[in-house]
Amino acid sequence: MKELFGIIGNPIAHSLSPLIQNESYELHEINAHFQAFHVEHEDLESAIKGMKAIGIKGFMVTVPFKAEVIPFLDEVDPIAEKKKAVNVVQLIDGKYVGFNFDGEGCLKALLEDMNRQSLQNENILILGAGGAAQSIYYTLSHFDDVHIDLANRTIEKAEALKELGGNHRHTSVISLEEAEIKQNEYDIIIQTTSIGMWPDIDQSAINITNLKKGAFVSDIIYNPAETKILKQAREIGANTQNGIKMLAFQNALSIEKWTGQKVNYQKMIDSLTKALR
Ligand code: NAP
């Protein structure tokens, strides 16, 4: 009998995880099927209980349930607990345990496209302080010798996010307006807000006009494949990256967690790129 994995969200019809997960199962001969489940807010608890009752060994969690799901899990890994957001759940010894791979996926994608093993001495700007930014900031703040500016529309959220970095010595909170003015000071800019996402493709968190030579600009949005901010950055010579690789890494990490099987994430990237064209 096939193992069943899935993703819960609302809305969920647009999710590309079923496509790349099912392709991976086929490619690696994993006897499983991946299904998207649309869940209403008031049904979240019973949905989780139902999934456990029918023996689902793992599922992904997306907007708007990444924080809401926590009270209904049996355990949360300390990193996801700190980030207060879960995006992958695994059944371990009869308990649903929550994890968060947003930060790990983003860092892996960054390092790979920058052709680096680690981060050191970079001046980094993170635009946004939402769920994804939390996880990304938490991960990046473990590199003690990078400087990180956190810029968000709601400054209080960025201030609260700074606390998540614990004893990170080089983090400052600034406004989006300040970030736009200081844009040529950064080696890496990571755009994590939802601004610029389809259908609002003519919007961006800041206007890019003047970047440091060799700057790397990453936007974790993957639809559209090139957001306004990435287009502006590319046009003035920056290296850019969209959210496809991060999404692929997270799906690959979840399969590895659930089945122990390492998968070919390049195939996932190719399928996502084709689907989003
Ligand atoms: P979220 O928790 O809702 O956070 C949204 C962020 O965007 C906040 O910082 C919010 O600022 C800001 N924002 C939204 N509308 C704005 C506006 N009109 N003006 C200024 N700021 C605005 O969302 P999330 O879960 O972090 O996701 C953010 C984006 O990342 C989404 O597009 C999502 O698809 C993408 N994502 C991609 C991946 C991947 O694997 N590639 C993974 C996760 C998320 P305030 O705090 O001021 O409200």
- Mark whether 228 and 148 lie in a shared domain: yes
Tell me what pLDDT residue 182 has. Answer: 98
Residue 192: which CATH number? 3.40.50.720
DSSP character for 118? S
pLDDT at 78 over 90: no
Q: Whose CA is nearest to atom 7 of ligand 1?
A: 193
Q: Which one, of 130, 133, 138, lies nearest residue 218 by Cα? A: 133
Beta-carbon-side half-sphere exposure of residue 234 (alpha carbons within 13 Å): 12
221 and 233, same domain (yes or no): yes
Residues 76 and 129 in one domain: no
Residues 19 and 129 in one domain: no
In this predicted model, which residue has the larger pLDDT, 168 or 92?
92
* DSSP code of residue 71: G
What's the structural domain count of the chain?
Answer: 2
CA of 191 to the centre of ligand 1 (A): 9
CATH of the domain at 258: 3.40.50.10860
Q: What is the residue type of 85?
A: A
- Res 168 pLDDT > 90: no
Substitution site in 65, 108, 192, 194 for ligand 1 pocket (most atoms within 8 Å of beta carbon): 194
Is 66 one of the annotated active-site residues of the chain? yes
Residues 172, 249 share a domain: no
Question: What range defines the domain where residue 190 resides?
Answer: 103-242
Are 30 and 5 in contact, with CB atoms under 8 Å apart?
Answer: no
**Phi, psi (5° rounding) for residue 263?**
-115, 165
How far apart (Å, rounded) are the C-alpha atoms in residues 12 and 164? 29
SS3 (DSSP) at 7: strand
**109 and 209 housed in the same domain:** yes
Indicate whether 94 and 162 sit together in one domain: no
Pocket mutation for ligand 1, best pick of 17, 88, 138, 153 (most atoms within 8 Å of C-beta): 153
Ligand 1 center from residue 1 Cα (angstroms): 39
Residue 43 shares a structural domain with residue 118:
no
CA of 32 to the centre of ligand 1 (A): 32
β-pairing, 95-99 with 88-92?
antiparallel
pTM of the model: 0.94
Report how far ligand 1's centroid is from the alpha carbon of 192 (Å). 6
Ligand 1 atom nearest residue 247's Cα:
40
Catalytic residue, from 57, 66, 108, 245: name it.
66
Residues 82, 107: one domain? no
Alpha helices (runs of H) in 115-264, residue ranges in sequence order: 131-140, 155-164, 176-181, 228-235, 244-259
- pLDDT tens readout for residues 81-140: 887 889 999 999 999 999 999 999 999 999 999 999 999 999 999 999 988 999 999 999
Strand partners, 5: 34, 58
Residue 82, pLDDT score: 81
The H helix count followed by the E strand count for the chain is 10, 12
Q: What is the mean pLDDT of residues 226-234?
A: 98
Instruction: Map residue 4 onto helix, strand or coil.
Output: strand
In angstroms, the CA 268 to CA 250 distance is 11
Same domain, 238 and 117: yes
Q: How far is the CA of 138 from the centre of ligand 1 (A)?
A: 16
User: Are both 226 and 111 inside the same structural domain?
Assistant: yes
Probe residue for ligand 1, chosen from 193, 202, 223 as the CB with the greatest number of ligand atoms within 8 Å:
193
Taking CB atoms and a 6 Å cutoff, what residues make up the pocket around ligand 1?
Answer: 63, 102, 105, 128-133, 152-154, 157, 192-195, 197, 220-222, 243, 246-247, 250
Q: What is d(CA 119, CA 81) in angstroms, rounded to the nearest whole number?
A: 25
CA dihedral 265, 271, 276, 277 (to 10 degrees): 120
Regarding whether 144 and 13 lie in a shared domain, the answer is no
Taking the C-alpha atoms of residue 4 and residue 61, their distance in angstroms, rounded to an integer, is 15
Q: What digits encode the pLDDT tens for the residues 46-71? A: 999 999 999 999 999 998 999 999 99
